[in-house]
Structure 1
């Protein structure tokens, strides 16, 4: 065991530990929640440290050997990430996380230069964290990670939209009964139902694309409260550009670093759009469950793919497990939105102390929604249609009589339906007898093509 000291006291650490005294204290202060850091966030944080080392060397603030060792250590982030022992939801606005990463890089860089772990020949404060603060590095790492996860989600939404549009074309001539409040409504084409889902996703796709413009603005270089205290002007002016080059992510220096340090409303904005996407995924999934329900004793118009057995006791049962999976993940996103919204509003004066929970649950929602889209895309691609059930349900729906209102009026048709005990054939006989119009002529008025909008140009 090795011992490390600071102004708070002394702590024992394993000899081979890349983390240091601040990281160890954090594990004692913040018992683990079981939550894990998003990989993109870890990568982004290491790359910010790499960019700072490159710039500080370029500007003459770091010796070349130390800067090069820090850069090499940052490039080894995937190996070193196992030494991140601080919980994602630790207190202190992310200071413990920043120090955990600083200590890991410092120890590995020291080792690269032939020094022992814990010697801090490369210092976590004076070298790795030079001209930085938790308050500008943590939210910037969060925003870079969000941009990368956002792009993944957008691609997943596009694939889901495309497979639904494929089904829209495939099913566009399949007639079926529409439903309002789960009760029979006017006829609709199955393809039209899929088309409505695709259009909802198109809105999500557009909204998510546009919001990246606002998440790009970062406060890197602002240090503690956005004033740049502790950092020279030449560093402040260049650090975002160097970080952009290192990460390949198009971030931009905020016009007002103080504003961007204390106000995290952009996370509330983006998570609101994630909630909207979750709403649409939930609606689509639940519609699929309803349309495939039964299948013999209920609607049964869609045939769910048999991706797994549906019961441990009922033989041959198939359940809509993927839509249910998507709905569960959507519920998590709904809950995360409450957390993120509340935390964004609770920043005080020059800093939002809850940036760890804001970043963590935004990234988690992005990841969950991507998984939901991926699973639903594969599932919908395998969905089949029960053509006979669609026709049977349509033929037995008294809502098909809606066009007759133009001839007889609402009250007369309603009275006939009630008299016939909701039997279509009997209703037509009653109306034919009252009006003198033949049943065959009345049936011609029940034009499904017109009722679904296919018989004329909308």
Structure 2
């Protein structure tokens, strides 16, 4: 934290601010440091929730979104003639200060908190009020001029401000994840082109199957990521429905009838997002379904990334006693005791991110289910879980692309030799020599170690010229009817 006095509050000890200002709430009077823009409500929350040690300042998109919501709200109240112009201007400027990255260290409440996010909302109200007072040339705490609840929170409740801010922050994080996924997809696409002619043995259930190309393998990964980009965009669309204007339970109490529509219009302009007001604000205030849907999409992305990384670790296993089909770029020494050992550390770290995201999805599911009646009190843990999943998946995609995929090389000759020795090659001969003959050759090749090609020639089932044409690399991994058309007569 920028201020030692703030840090003393966060470490859970009773602060002593002999030169500070005092503030009073219905529980009593407390002293705060002169440097703090937060007030007594924030102080109590910091004392009450020493849970993770991670303040909401660790999530700049959330802090920015809170300021944007407050910005839109004061503009709506001004349009409706409910707040004086000077107050409005000062609050707007304070919000802009925060939107531009200022005062981030003043958002000090723990990200996990009781009260359905009230402490986060109070923290924002107090910081904005005290910064606005400075813009008016007044000192912090002069709440008779601008009050955190009466002015900054006018026409609002935590129950519409907080979920709206979470949705805006999640959308922004989702857009960053999309960029990282596109970056990873392009890296995979480059490898698909690079390895297009590299023939290898395909596998099902870890047993040898028919041939394919390494390019096809990487093209599959490219498509897997691309599909999830599309599904992620669909999930993001559901987050654009907000309940701003719902206030406490969705009835809109303490707001002007036109407030919700005006505030949403301003918020769309400030954020650049096509936000819509929910058709039923009572339903929207208690329903966390959009968060469940979005979290499930993040889990799907994680599962597929982890599968890709499982493959990369398996395909690069060895280098002498494993698959050894590809080489991952060496990133660091792999052992403190075995010289020269290099481990697949990048796929491993992506696997671990995936495990975390799967766990976060379970947390979101449980928290969403635990809502009761007109409000879900557990949105703080939903927010923390979503933000962690988004940030870590974004970093994982970029790391995987830059530190692993781009540097992968193929052991081409070894892959080719595996194809030539593979029993699975006999499958391509089925339409030509018949299933029974192919089965007999496969059995003999397996028991004797002889190659399929040598046995076919030995039995005079095909000529060497025919066999060479059938087993050309460009024919092994693609539909075969053109091959049959061009076969020399036997």
> TM-score scaled to structure 2, two decimals?
0.87
Structure-1 residue corresponding to 2:15 = none
Match of 1:152 in 2: 176
Show the counterpart of 2:393. Answer: 369
Asked if 1:399 is matched to 2:424, the reply is: yes
CA contact (8 A) 2:109 2:123 kept: yes
The equivalent residue for 2:223 is 199
Q: Give the superposition deviation at 1:58.
A: 2.6
| Counterpart selection for 1:33 from 31, 52, 69 | 52
How many residue pairs align between the two structures?
Answer: 457
Note if contact 1:428-1:439 (Cα within 8 Å) is conserved in structure 2: no
Distance 2:322 2:463 in 1: 30
User: Gaps spanning 5+ residues in structure 1: where?
Assistant: none
RMSD between aligned residues: 2.3
Which moved further from structure 2: 355-364 or 305-314? 305-314
**Equivalent of 1:11 in 30, 40, 61:** 30
| Secondary structure at the counterpart of residue 184 of structure 1 | strand
**In the alignment, is residue 21 of structure 1 matched against residue 40 of structure 2?**
yes
SS of the equivalent of 2:297 reads: helix
Cα distance 1:297–1:36, how it changes in 2: closer, same or farther (>3 A)? farther
In 1, Cα distance between the equivalents of 2:165 and 2:364? 17
Give the secondary structure class of the aligned counterpart of 2:259.
helix
Partner of 1:347: 371
Match of 1:106 among 121, 129, 149: 129
2:412 aligned with 1:387: yes
Q: Which runs of 5+ in 2 are unaligned?
A: 1-19, 484-490
Greater shift, 400-409 or 300-309, is seen at 400-409
SS in 2 for 1:76: helix
Q: Could you give the per-residue CA deviations for residues 49-85 of structure 1, whole angstroms, max 9, x where no partner exists?
A: 1111222223221111111111111122123121112
In terms of mean alpha carbon deviation, does 114-123 or 363-372 score higher? 114-123
1:213 Cα deviation (Å)?
2.0
Residues 55 and 108 of structure 2 are in contact (CA less than 8 Å); yes or no, is this contact kept in structure 1?
no
Contact kept in structure 2, 1:417 and 1:424, CA below 8 Å? no
Helix, strand or coil at the partner of 1:5: strand
1:385 offset after TM fit, Å?
A: 1.3
Instruction: Pick from 71, 84, 94 the counterpart of residue 92 of structure 2.
Output: 71
The answer to whether the Cα contact below 8 Å between 2:117 and 2:380 also exists between their aligned partners in 1 is: yes
TM-score calculated relative to the size of structure 1:
0.93
SS at the partner of 1:225? coil
Deviation at 1:452, TM superposition (A): 1.2
Q: Give the aligned partner of residue 44 of structure 1.
A: 65
**Is it true that 1:54 corresponds to 2:75 in the alignment?**
yes
| 1:117 corresponding residue in structure 2 | 140
Q: Secondary structure at the match of 2:30?
A: strand
1:415-448: per-residue Cα shift (whole Å, max 9, x none)? Answer: 5544554455266666666x55367378455565
1:169 aligns with 2:190: no
- The answer to whether the 8 A contact 2:420-2:451 is kept is no
**Where does residue 6 of structure 2 map in the other structure?**
none
Alignment of 1:131-142 (within 5 A): 131-142=155-166
